Amino acid sequence: MRRDLRWAVLALLFPFALARAGTAADYAYAFPLDTKASAEAYRVVLDPVVYASVNPSAELHDLVVVNVLGQPVPFGPLPPTPPKRYHFEQMTRLIPVPGHVATQEGVRVERNANGGIVISQPAAGNASERAQQWLLDAGRELTLDHLELQAATLQQDFQLHLAVDASNDLRQWRTLADDVSVTRVHNGDDNVEQLSMDLAGAEPARYYRLRLVDGEVDWSGEHVPAVALVGGYSDAAAERSSQLQWLPITASSTGNDYDYTLPAALPVEAVKVLLPTTNAAARVQLMLPQGQGASNWVAVSTLDLVRTTGSGGEATARFAPRPVQHLRLHSDTPLAQAPVVSVGWLPPQYVFMAEGSGPYRLLAGSHAARRGDYPVDMALERMRASNGTDWLPPVAALGPRVDAAGPTALDAPKVPYDWTRPLLWVVLIAGALLVTGMALSLLRNAGRNGNPG
């Protein structure tokens, strides 16, 4: 069954492959791939040596994987994995918005420095009017599955229809449910309670609002009920930050400028700076090149560094991933030694199908050859159907780099000298001289014929 699935996926991929992948003679370098573990597909994690081997203008499209026959196999970027979802459950109380909806002029709903909800109203507000809106602060952005009123905090019977809205700024609201029924009726032994509001599928938000659509209840003062927030959250930024790999780099100094060079133009998204000595302090500017080369520098971050006996003196600058091979630290004050610098980057992962027989090789670096597009995301979905939704191909470790065609494969081919242009000029000049000679001959003959002898 697994073999049939593998060949079905390969048959699906075949029409999408382009023929411009080239052969080993079109690529500068080769990396052997360790595929000792048997699998239908493998992952390749690109390292700085691979980045130093490719054509920068190719944007990693001059990478292919070939089998033992030198034939390209389906190969492409590993589709991104959605961030993990963590369960969230919190108990909180409703925050009444003062007054009737129609008389809420002057009521201000704002956030404090920590994001908490602050409600203010005019001193002349009518405190006797029952609230018809209530707010909730989840404390963080989350996807809410359901809200549940806590029975132990309810003191009245009610039959209500509520609308539920969500927001991330307390200004722009979107409706999650426009009519949710909640009920609490206690009549002797005949009790009815429906206190849960299902909101599955809602978009993530931090703030939530309940609006009274129909019914009547006093949820204010000591009658404000507690509510359970149940859902989940993901923190893609923190998860990505935890996956960064840190590469230390060394400096060459010129005055108050410290220049650092990476082994290749890596997709850097963080720079960590540390003062090398204790009892030191400095304010440094992190500068990156603008445009091509490393001549025009632009400041992207300012870092305050303080290192004492009890503190590390480390600071980190973060920015959107961008290719970086050169960076500079500028200090207005002299430093005893160059700061210690590490760059944070997330090595891209690629996946290839085990088409044909191994050993497999990664070919890298070409002036003209480019990889075709393969629907590897569709292939992974097919394989995960039998291996599990969280399945990932095993890693095929990169071996040492060796020459394939050699560095000349990265160079543009020499264009043969075009002899047609000088030959054309020779023909034109010869023709002009011939015409001139003929004209002079005609003039001499005309002179003789016109002179009586």
Domain 244-345 CATH class label: mainly beta
Topology agreement, domain 86-233 and domain 244-345? yes
SS3 78: coil
Question: How would you classify residue 285: left for phi > 0, otherwise alpha for psi between -120 and 50, otherwise beta?
Answer: beta
Torsion of CA 165, 169, 170, 176, to 10 degrees: 0
Please give the full DSSP string across 102-164, using - where no structure is assigned: GG-TT-EEEE-TTS-EEEE--TT--TTSPP-EEEEEEEEEEEEEEEEE-GGG--S-EEEEEEE
Task: Check residue 242 and report its DSSP letter.
Answer: H
Task: Check residue 229 and report its DSSP letter.
Answer: E
Which is it for the CA torsion 443, 449, 450, 453, positive or negative?
A: positive
β partners of residue 360: none
- 434: amino acid identity, one letter: L
Q: Are 97 and 133 in contact (CB under 8 A)?
A: yes
Domain positions in the chain are 2-78+351-408, 86-233, 244-345, 415-453
Closest CA relative to residue 210, chosen from 249, 252, 161 = 161
β partners of residue 132: none
pLDDT in tens, the chain (453 residues): 444 444 444 444 444 444 445 677 899 999 999 998 888 999 999 999 999 999 999 999 999 999 999 999 999 999 888 788 889 999 999 999 886 544 455 678 888 888 888 887 766 555 557 888 999 999 998 999 999 999 999 988 999 999 999 999 999 999 999 899 999 998 877 788 899 999 887 788 999 999 999 999 999 888 899 999 999 988 888 888 889 999 999 988 777 899 999 999 999 999 999 998 888 888 999 999 987 655 689 999 999 998 888 777 789 999 999 999 999 999 988 888 899 999 999 999 999 999 988 899 999 999 999 998 898 889 888 888 888 888 899 999 999 999 999 999 898 766 565 667 777 777 788 777 877 878 777 777 776 665 554
CA dist 75 and 448 (Å) reads: 86
Q: Are 345 and 319 in contact (CB under 8 A)?
A: no
Domain 86-233 CATH class label: mainly beta
CA dist 409 and 412 (Å) reads: 8
State the greatest distance between any 2 C-alpha atoms of the chain, in Å, as a whole number.
Answer: 153
CA dist 61 and 369 (Å) reads: 8
Contacts of 336 (CB under 8 A, 6+ apart): 276, 277, 280
Q: Are 315 and 246 in contact (CB under 8 A)?
A: no
Helix (H) or strand (E) holding 185: strand 174-187
